[in-house]
Amino acid sequence: MMIKSVQHTAAAGDAAALGLALAVARELHPPVRRAAELAPAVSQPKQHRASGRRRTVRS
């Protein structure tokens, strides 16, 4: 891992310096475009052979 020097113009106004932290993070990790995610092909639901009335079990 290499150390990178970041030049920023954001002022550290609040106690947490959130604006400064976001500016530095944006510089270190620029947004990357992702490929579109494709949904898998959905198969047809299986049809039951004996749809309708069920048989009763007799013993």
Residue 30 has what pLDDT? Answer: 79
Residue 52 has what pLDDT? Answer: 65
Contact criterion met (CB below 8 Å) for 4 and 28 = yes
pLDDT digits (tens, 9 = 90+) for 1-37: 577 776 766 666 667 778 788 888 888 887 788 888 7
pTM: 0.36
Cα–Cα distances (Å) from 16 to 12, 30, 35, 40, in that order, read 8, 22, 35, 44
Contact criterion met (CB below 8 Å) for 19 and 9 = no
Residue type, 51: S
When pLDDT is cut at 50, 70 and 90, the band that residue 49 belongs to is low
Q: Which two tokens stand for residue 42?
A: 């959905």
* Nearest C-alpha neighbor of 4 from the set 28, 22, 21: 28
Residue 24 has what pLDDT? Answer: 82
